[in-house]
Amino acid sequence: MTVLHLADTGEAADLAAFLSRLVHYDRAAAVRLKAHGTTLAVFGRPPSFEVLAIRTARLAKPYEHGLDVTLDATVSAGELLESVEESAATLAVPAAVTGPPWAGVLPPQGGWRQEPGLPAPDAVRAKVAEAVAEFRLRTEELAPELRTRAELDRVGREIWSRPIGDTGLPVRAAHAAQSLGFLRPVPPVASSAEGQVPSGGRPSGGPLALYSSGAWLRLRTPFGSVAVRRAGLGSLGVSVH
């Protein structure tokens, strides 16, 4: 069994938190792992959000396993979570599983360009809160005989497909980011000698930003990214790996 050594215990804790959230939404969730050099990328798709979530983690040393210098495997999110040893900053890669369709179609690796119009982080979080409140209010106002799955889905699609600000990013992408812990405020740096951010999670990327590549939009946050198709199920901008 392949064992990955993460850069430190904070990376292990953050990765475990991400996997826990995925499993919370889907106990049978699968994730696709891609490791090259000192970077491990974990791709997952939480149900109902219709987005891809990406969490990266730093490895202690460049990946290699025999003659293989890259890792690419689809595994059970629950089994991967169980294999994470936070104190040792390690995880064991479980046996591969038959991946869901989304695992074979990932956002492109390059060609991303930043898009203008994304509101400030507080405004994005406020937009999500407003959408959640509106959905709750409108569904609670429905007569019992009208509160069907089809009607709830219709209301949800109307609300969650609205764009954020002047972008084409749907509110559901930001909602997914918040639900996965990606949209929380960046905590202050602790005053310890290591300069670590508190255990609630450590930023791994730049500030909140929106990028596009082909048919994809990607909301990047300091804690992870959410990618969403903006052109239906067509082939434009699809990267099959």
How far apart are alpha carbons 54 and 185 in whole angstroms?
Answer: 18
Q: Phi, psi (5° rounding) for residue 222?
A: -65, -15
pTM (2 d.p.)? 0.85
In a domain, 31, yes or no: yes
pLDDT at 186: 79
Distance separating alpha carbons of residues 203 and 124, to the nearest angstrom: 18
Domain count, the chain: 2
240 in a structural domain? no
Instruction: Report in angstroms the alpha-carbon separations of 6 from 14, 37, 94, 214.
Output: 11, 12, 16, 32
Contact criterion met (CB below 8 Å) for 105 and 128: no
Enclosing domain of residue 181:
113-186+194-234
User: For residue range 42-86, what is the model confidence (pLDDT) as tens digits?
Assistant: 999 998 888 999 999 999 999 988 778 999 999 999 999 999 999
Q: Are 94 and 118 found together in one domain? A: no
Is the pLDDT at 34 greater than 70? The verdict is yes
Better pLDDT: 238 or 131: 131
| Tens of pLDDT, residues 180-194 | 999 988 776 533 333
Asked if residue 15 belongs to a domain, the reply is yes
CA proximity to 199, closest of 5, 11, 7, 6: 11
